[in-house]
Amino acid sequence: MKKILAIESSCDETACAILDEKLNILSSVVSTQIDVHARFGGVIPEIASRMHVEQISIIVDNALKQADVSMDDIDAIAYTVGPGLIGSLHIGGVAAKTLAFFYDKPLIGVHHLKGHIFINELLADFEYPMLALVVSGGHTELVYIENEDSFKIIGTTLDDAVGESYDKVARIMGMGYPGGPKIDKAAKEGKAHYQLPTPKVDGLNFSFSGLKNACLQLAKKLERNGEELNNNDLSYAFQEVALNVLLNKTLKAMEEYPVKTVITAGGVAANSRLRELMSEKIKGVKLVQPPLKYCTDNATMIACAAFHDLKKGKFVSLDTASLSDMSIEE
């Protein structure tokens, strides 16, 4: 059975996984830098790159040991070619190319968001056409997927990504980084008390910076008036507005683009309230929502996407450049 060794290093996780072609996970090792970046309230690119350099060989070695395989058993090396932090991407790219060159293995360059999408194949068979709601720290995208080779962005954010706005609003409340899981938890204790404006954007696009600013203005106003901000209530209010926008745009997209499967992907897909709203309201299609461990960055997702390329013999050369900005449509 064919095996892929995959590397992910686009942001602040250094990860390596080994999967076989039936998508059995032989190993999946993730080293996260969250604790280090948390001190600064967000990811510091230079620190991320340096930590990838320190971790990458150890992580690859651990993945091989845990899978109990040697490089001779590996049929291809896959890595995240973009988008992401350029320094971070570069480290994973150099590691993957070195392995491919030294052991004479084909090299597969994977788009990070395709990884977030195709990891859902661990949970269900995809029935095309599909709609993916990709929501993470760097992305808010509605992607229409006609077949496994055809991706079309039909909606995107005009300013902040939804995960980014979670992180920034959490910062306003002094909750620390990453804000998503903290707001998710606090909102469960919150009630409908604060009023926040729903972003108004035509079509299938999104905007979250106005909502973030409304949270900031509210916090400042309360402070000026000597009143205390209730973090649970603001978490509740922010989340209800942000997530209903995601839900309503998804429903609108389903009207314009009839699909058989709807999937969620990316870090924010781990949100418990989003999962609840999607299960309640998305009807008449196969709905696939990944569990937490498949939502945040890992290398299993890169391997899942890479098997499609391996089957087609779609490889990249050793001089392929990493790309910080890269469209899923190409």
Question: Which residues are at the interface with ligand KG4 (CB under 6 A)?
Answer: 11, 136-138, 163-164, 166-167, 178-181, 184, 266-268, 270-271, 296-297
State in angstroms the smallest separation of the CB of 297 from Zn ion: 4
Give the Cα separation of 67 and 199 in Å (integer).
Answer: 47
Contacts to Zn ion from residues 125-144, by CB under 5 A: 136
**DSSP label at residue 128:** S
CA distance 137 to 252: 23
The tokens describing 200, both together, are 């108004």
Q: What is the CA radius of gyration of the chain?
A: 20
d(CA 298, CA 9): 9
* By the rule CB under 5 A, 13 interacts with Zn ion: no
Binding segment (CB under 5 A) for Zn ion, from list 46-54, 71-79, 126-134, 294-302: 294-302
Q: Which of 297, 298, 299, 310 binds Zn ion (CB under 5 A)?
A: 297
Residue with smaller CB distance to ligand KG4, 141 or 164: 164
Least distance from Zn ion to the Cβ atom of residue 136, Å: 5
Query: What is the closest distance, in whole angstroms, from the C-beta atom of residue 239 to ligand KG4 in the complex?
Result: 8
Least Å distance, CB 137 to Zn ion, is 7
The smaller minimum CB distance to ligand KG4, of residues 105 and 208, is found at 208
Indicate the DSSP class of residue 191: -
> Stretches 13-21, 49-57, 63-71, 295-303: which one binds Zn ion (CB under 5 A)?
295-303
322 touches Zn ion by CB under 5 A: no
Tell the smallest beta-carbon distance from residue 2 to Zn ion (Å): 25
> Measured between alpha carbons, how far is 232 from 173 in angstroms, rounded to an integer?
10
CB atoms within 10 A of CB 329: 10
208 binds, among Zn ion, ligand KG4, none (CB under 5 to 8 A by kind): none
Q: Is 242 helix (H, G, I), strand (E, B) or coil?
A: helix
Q: 313: Cβ–Cβ under 8 A, 6 or more apart, which residues?
A: none
87: partner contacted, choices Zn ion, ligand KG4, none (Cβ within 5-8 A by kind): none
Residue 309 Cβ vs Zn ion, minimum distance, rounded to whole Å: 19
Measured between alpha carbons, how far is 132 from 71 in angstroms, rounded to an integer? 34
Report the distance separating Cα 293 and Cα 28, nearest Å. 11
